Amino acid sequence: MRAFYAGLNKLAATGVFTGQSSVCASLNVAAPHSLTDEERNKSEMHLRECIRWASEAALMNKVTIISAEVNIVPAMQTYYAAATFTARAGQDAIARIQGEKAGKDVVMTKWLGLEGTSLIASQRMKELASRYPLGLVEQAADFDRFLSSVPEAATAVQSGVNAIQAVREGGIFGGLWQLARANGVGLVIDLKQIPVKQETIEVCEFYDVNPYELLSGGSMLMITEGGTRLVSELAEQGISAAVIGRTTDNNDRILVNDEEKRFLEPARHDSLYRVLTTS
C-alpha cells in the first residue's frame, strides 16, 4: 500500500492528475518458491489484501490497472507487491521553476511524518499504549488514510504553481532539500510554521527521533507566487496546508526557529528505520 502511494504521489508531483492525462499502473508480485502451509496461508492473505487495496486505490484515484504479474523468486521469504506507473501527460503538466526564483512562497500540505507515524504506531502499538491512551495510538496508526497526494497536486497545478515535490524519505527536511536542489533555489523556512500532528510529536518523543526526518509520505511541497491563495483553495477541497517559507536566489537553505538560524543539511537515513530495526 505504501509503495503504491509513493509511486502515485511522485507521479502526481509532475502535474498529470488534472483530468487531461491517462494514468496506468502495472502490479508486480514477487512470490517465494516454497513456504510452510502456515506461512503460505498468511502470505496469500496478505497478497489478496494488497491486490484488493491496490484495486480500490486505483479506482479512487482514476488509475487504470493494465496488468498484474507474479514471479517466483526463491530468495523471497514472503509475497511482495509493487506497482509501476505510466502516464500520458496533458497540457497542464508542469516543469521545474522558470524565470525569477526569489521571493516565492513555499507551501506544505497536510502534516509532517504522517507515514512514519502510522508505521511505528501500527507496529509498536503495545509499547506506545503503555504510556499513551490506546485511542491516541490507534489514531496515529490510522494516519495512512492521508497517504494519497493526488487531490492536492491537481488543485495546485490548476492554481498555477511553479513546482511540486512529493515528500517521503528523509522526512520534511529531505523533501525541502530535494525541492531546493531540483529547482536551483535557496530557501528560508520557518520551523514553527511546519504543520505537525500531536500524535506524531508523542510517537517521536517516545522513541527519541527527529520528527522532521521521519518518513512523510502524503505531504507535498509547492513553490508558488500566491501561497495564501493556494492554501485557501486547498482548504476548499478539505486539504490542510500552510505557507512555511519562501525561496531565495542563492543556494542557502536556512531553517529559522525564532531568533535561531541554521543551515539545512542533506537528509540522513530516515528516522523510521532506527525505530523499527530495534527490538
pLDDT in the model for residue 58: 74
Q: Are 128 and 121 in contact (CB under 8 A)?
A: yes
Q: Show Cβ contacts of residue 82 under 8 Å, excluding neighbours closer than 6 positions.
A: 3, 4, 27, 28, 29
Q: Show Cβ contacts of residue 23 under 8 Å, excluding neighbours closer than 6 positions.
A: 11, 16, 17, 61, 62, 63, 64, 85, 86, 87
Q: Are 215 and 150 in contact (CB under 8 A)?
A: no
pLDDT in the model for residue 95: 53
What's the whole-model pTM score? 0.81
pLDDT in the model for residue 92: 47
Which portions of the chain are predicted below pLDDT 70? 1, 16-22, 27, 31, 33-37, 39-44, 46-47, 53, 66-70, 74-100, 269-271, 277-279
Q: How remote is the C-alpha of 211 from its chain's centroid?
A: 14
pLDDT in the model for residue 88: 60
Residue 145: HSE in the Cβ half-sphere, 13 Å Cα cutoff: 7
pLDDT per residue over 200-255, tens digit each? 999 999 999 999 999 999 999 999 999 999 999 999 999 999 999 999 988 899 99
**DSSP per-residue codes, the chain:** -HHHHHHHHHHHTTT--SSS-EEEEEEEEEE-S---HHHHHHHHHHHHHHHHHHHHHHHHTT-EEEEEEEEE-TT-SS-EEEEEEEEE--TT---S--S--TT-EEEEES-TTHHHHHHHHHHSHHHHHTTS-HHHHHHHHGGGGG---HHHHHHHHHHT-SEEEE-BTBHHHHHHHHHHHHHT-EEEEEGGGS---HHHHHHHHHHT--GGGS--TT-EEEEES-HHHHHHHHHHTT--EEEEEEEESSS-EEEEETTEEEE-----S-HHHHHHT--
Question: What is the rounded CA–CA span in Å between residue 199 and residue 203?
Answer: 6
Give Rg (Cα) of the chain: 20
